[in-house]
A and B are shown apart, each in its own frame.
Chain A
């Protein structure tokens, strides 16, 4: 059990795990969720032969997965740091309207999109500043901004949908073309994964979530990290709202909402990011969103109604949490 200072058994330097063996154990949590996703997809494919292998059905499936996944990436960064953003679904609806207003004010589309993202970033900054400097739990802060932003969106839009502006080419890149959303998703997943695992920002976020006091004793600016992650999460939520507005070609003040925010949190949890902070995985979040997407799409195709779907979704989240916590415990014991 204790190997500190035990007499040396070999002359090799302290062991560095072999890369190949480490790979499987390194990715074990993600591989488990991938297995679940594959099994579910196989099941629906068996029941309904059009589930996977046609253009239309793949586009359909990717549209279930993409928005939930992108919002989940932001939530994962926050959850690792010990926070959460409940207002993400409302930022989702808010950002596209800011984009429209910027466009109506004369900004070209690319600038209008950036304006929408900046508006989302400002909300993220407010979420973070209130949480970090006024020391409110993020659950409370973002519960407040959830209603606040929803109210603002409904007021500025007068409660009516708007048409999505922009040329067809621009719209195609920004989500209107069938696969553009999923390509964005994979690209963002890659960047976020690198951010989490291969930059000081990501490593410090994990350290700050695991041991806030210890991280600050090591000289890490914990508050700056948390604030930055709030901004990041809001920008991702706003960007998802913009992508979806191009796909649907209209902007609805009631779009997104709590449903998509909770699905994103569920994707994060199913993917292996606990709400307790300190650890998490972007790739797991993507796979978690895929599991939810396969369930939604699959049940829709075989004609199960929305009520039954929620029962199954709830059970899936519970099962995933129980599984993650207990498998984690068993693995830790096994290693001792």
Chain B
């Protein structure tokens, strides 16, 4: 994985700030239910934001949880890979 990633062009999503969750829907796959991201996964999604590099996202998530980026890098990158496989984020 390299370069910046951003939310896919055919993705609709809403944030439920009260419950720390995000619902994500791929408009190209309307036969699939919306993915509901909670806790850490919701935080990672929100860090993807407009366009961020993997390292920027790792740094932001680490700052949100006040941990060393090295401790979470692997899990964050794995989750980003999963989002990319589902076409919910794209690489630029």
The answer on A and B forming one complex is no
Residues of A within 8 A of B (CB): none
